[in-house]
Amino acid sequence: MVTSPNTRIWPHSASVNNLDHLEIGALDVCELAKKFGTPLWLMDYASIFQAQEACRLGLLNYPGEKTVLYAGKAFLCLAMCKIVNQLKMGLDVVSLGELETAIEADVKPENIFLHGNNKSGKEIERALELRHCKIVIDNMSELDLVVRLAKRAQTKAQILLRIKPGIEPDTHDHIKTGQETSKFGIGLSEVQDYLSYIKSNGSELDFLGFHAHIGSQALELDVYRESVKVLGALSLATQKDFGLKTKLLDVGGGLGITYVEEDRPPGLYEWASTIQACVSETYQSQNLALPHLMIEPGRSIVGTAGVTIYEVGHVKRLANNSLCLAVDGGMADNPRPSTYNAKYTAAIANAMSRKSAEKVSIVGKYCESGDIIVKDAGIEAGTGDLIAVFGTGAYNYSMSSNYNRTGRPACLLLKEGQADIILERETITDLTRQDRVPAWLEAKQ
Ligand SMILES: Cc1ncc(COP(=O)(O)O)c(C=O)c1O
């Protein structure tokens, strides 16, 4: 049995100790909160390891080359890049910041894929300078810019075309990307123009193959099968009509995780093995050479690894008799509930068995009525209790802000009894570091 952490709410190494406290990585979360303060982001190394292992094992039967790329937008910092290196994954980046973080952490350029629907000249130049870093082309003016910059740098750009296969997973509209109307990628009817352009700029462009990412928090496998079939047909037509081989096929990420009991995502192992079987069948049945297969999960690698710990401050009973627990964080460290109504599961980290039948909501401290982290949390907590919110490893830190001039929490990596800070808590000094006061405002009245 392969463990796929995305099918559970708690991190892989989580348990409850004899004090009724939550433990992660063999560490008492209440002790961590005491030592490092709250709010606190915790990342469970075992969950990350198990998630990539499930992907790796799922791809194992693929007869060609295969690689798991980690989509850095889900959670990226120097330590996460080091984990990517250690676990022999590749990395998808979407900005100069993510690219330079990866380089600083010694991720090899050949393992980096630069994405984005509006890459700047600077970003493209840097990718070209690094050689072997792959550029995933999103649109024609970008392709044209890549050719001009490659010519100037006297190099050849290694490119993939990002395709919109016209497939929509059943997920929130804001995180669908495979449909024809998406802002990302190239529609199927336009691909021929791109391939002609690539053929006529062969000295600047090395065509590697295709990429597609249909959306995020997908909870079914059929959409991936459909996407692979579309890409297979495209590879066949590309080879026949343009003589260009698909050497590399990146089918994206997007597999969902279990935020609440009702979520039933397929396991990572099942997802990866379905994809590899479908790619080998599709390509072999068309007598095409098997491409180097890549999958590109973000959320399902780090999502379940993350838990946020908050402390309850003031408690209020509202006019509808529901109980409102205000915690010391909220939408600045986790904007997902207010952005797309994301749901989470919470527990009382210092009293894991305590439950409530009452309507209880966990609200943040920020100045927005929509700053509600969990509605109907089903727990009965009071001032001073510690709340654990599960499944916060993906798109929390990476989408966080300094709203209301609040510093971001610290983040700890937990592994077998060891807790290391991988992101320092932001201080008031950090918050004013970029501020400048014009001289005329400094003048005494
Ligand atoms: C191109 C690309 N690849 C991979 C991902 C990762 O998606 P997820 O975190 O849902 O696996 C995304 C997410 O938006 C993406 O845009």
CB of 90 sitting under 6 A from ligand 1: no
Closest-CA residue, ligand 1 atom 10, reads: 254
The candidate with the shortest Cα–Cα distance to 132, out of 155, 161, 115, 116, is: 155
User: Mean pLDDT throughout 56-61?
Assistant: 98
CB of 92 sitting under 6 A from ligand 1: yes
Residue percentage of the chain with pLDDT more than 90: 91
Query: Looking at per-residue confidence, does 133 or 177 come out higher?
Result: 133
User: Mean pLDDT throughout 140-156?
Assistant: 97
pLDDT at 184: 86
Average pLDDT, the chain: 95
Q: Is the pLDDT of residue 122 over 70?
A: yes
CB of 299 sitting under 6 A from ligand 1: yes
Q: Is the pLDDT of residue 346 over 80?
A: yes
CB of 252 sitting under 6 A from ligand 1: yes
pLDDT at 7: 96
CB of 232 sitting under 6 A from ligand 1: no
Residues 6+ apart with CB under 8 A from 344: 259, 260, 334, 337, 373, 374, 389, 390, 391, 392
Q: Is the pLDDT of residue 31 over 80?
A: yes
What is the pLDDT confidence band of residue 186, given thresholds at 50, 70 and 90?
Answer: very high
Please say whether the beta carbons of 266 and 5 come within 8 A: no
Kindly report, residue by residue over 220-240, the tens digit of the pLDDT. 999 999 999 999 999 999 999
pLDDT at 179: 66
Q: Which domains, ranges and CATH numbers included, belong to the chain?
A: 10-44+306-432 (2.40.37.10), 46-302 (3.20.20.10)
**Ligand 1 centroid to residue 20 C-alpha, Å:** 37
The candidate with the shortest Cα–Cα distance to 298, out of 253, 263, 259, 335, is: 253
What's the predicted TM-score (pTM) here? Answer: 0.96
What is the pLDDT confidence band of residue 380, given thresholds at 50, 70 and 90?
Answer: confident
Strand-pair partners of 414 = 44, 419
What is the pLDDT confidence band of residue 326, given thresholds at 50, 70 and 90?
Answer: very high
Q: Is the pLDDT of residue 327 over 80?
A: yes
Residues 6+ apart with CB under 8 A from 203: 156
pLDDT at 175: 59
Residue 439 in tokens: 């001289």
Q: Which atom of ligand 1 is nearest to the CA of 136?
A: 1
Closest-CA residue, ligand 1 atom 4, reads: 253
User: Mean pLDDT throughout 90-106?
Assistant: 98
Q: Is the pLDDT of residue 174 over 70?
A: no
- Whether 367 is catalytic is yes
Report helix angle 45-59 to 268-285, nearest 10. Answer: 20
